[in-house]
Chains A and B, each alone.
Chain A
Amino acid sequence: LAKTTQPISMDSYEGQEVNITCSHNNIATNDYITWYQQFPSQGPRFIIQGYKTKVTNEVASLFIPADRKSSTLSLPRVSLSDTAVYYCLVGMGYSTLTFGKGTMLLVSP
């Protein structure tokens, strides 16, 4: 399984765009990149998944460069309710999920 590295924590203010970068130098050809969000005392929630270039949904955008050795989760105009832990996962999709410690995002007023 490809190992991922992401910042332990990030701070932001309401209304700002937040970009969380994840490094995955050993990503394999068949691996997808998936991001989950977890609020305190809740289970993780799937946010977005991609293989290459850019993926956008109603919650976030995922930017993946051509070499796929990193990815960036972009949250537009964050609010206080976006305060959560964000996990970057890499895998084929046929294997079980392997979570790291994630990035704790704190959004302040």
Chain B
Amino acid sequence: DTGVSQDPRHKITKRGQNVTFRCDPISEHNRLYWYRQTLGQGPEFLTYFQNEAQLEKSRLLSDRFSAERPKGSFSTLEIQRTEQGDSAMYLCASSPGLVSYEQYFGPGTRLTVT
């Protein structure tokens, strides 16, 4: 399978703990996106990378959130000092070039903060 993969698929953590998610995009795609989705809502944009450069961050991405994409390949999203409001599905997507309306999404990581 050469689609976008995410790991882990599910994560349960206690409030205050740090968590890190990984996304492996489709190999030839140079754009990578992170979204967050809560129940009953559409995905909300968090940030995106063009190769290794982080080009845009949403206001939703508080100081507790950090994303990296070393070497322009896989990406990680870390949440520090998790809060119950961070509980959501975190989706990663990739696209091959400048035009972003056709993005390929991974299955997501469901985070539950207790």
Residues of chain A at the chain B interface (Cβ within 8 Å): 32, 34, 41-46, 49, 85, 87, 89, 91, 93-102
Report 24 cross-chain contacts, Cβ distance below 8 Å, ordered by A residue.
A32-B101, A34-B102, A41-B110, A42-B108, A43-B4, A43-B43, A43-B91, A43-B93, A43-B107, A44-B91, A44-B105, A46-B101, A46-B104, A87-B42, A94-B98, A94-B99, A96-B45, A97-B33, A97-B45, A97-B101, A98-B45, A99-B42, A101-B41, A102-B42
Residues of chain B at the chain A interface (Cβ within 8 Å): 4, 33, 40-45, 48, 56, 91-93, 98-108, 110
Q: How far is the CA of A98 from the CA of B42 in the complex (A)?
A: 8
The answer, among A91, A93, A95, A99, for a CB contact under 8 Å with B43, is: A99
Pairwise interchain contact B103-A93, C-beta atoms closer than 8 A:
no
Instruction: Using CB atoms, name the residue of chain A closest to B47.
Output: A96
Contacts of A44 in B (CB 8 A): 43, 91, 103, 105
Pairwise interchain contact B100-A46, C-beta atoms closer than 8 A:
no
Q: A42-B107, A42-B108 are in contact. Are A94 and B100 (CB under 8 A)?
A: yes
The distance from the CB of B29 to the nearest CB of chain A, in whole angstroms, is: 13
Contacts of B4 in A (CB 8 A): 43
Instruction: Using CB atoms, name the residue of chain A closest to B99.
Output: A93
Pairwise interchain contact B102-A43, C-beta atoms closer than 8 A:
no
Instruction: Using CB atoms, name the residue of chain A closest to B56.
Output: A96
The distance from the CB of A75 to the nearest CB of chain B, in whole angstroms, is: 19
Contacts of A49 in B (CB 8 A): 101-102
Contacts of B56 in A (CB 8 A): 96
The distance from the CB of A106 to the nearest CB of chain B, in whole angstroms, is: 15
Instruction: Using CB atoms, name the residue of chain A closest to B31.
Output: A96
Contacts of B93 in A (CB 8 A): 43
Instruction: Using CB atoms, name the residue of chain B closest to A96.
Output: B45
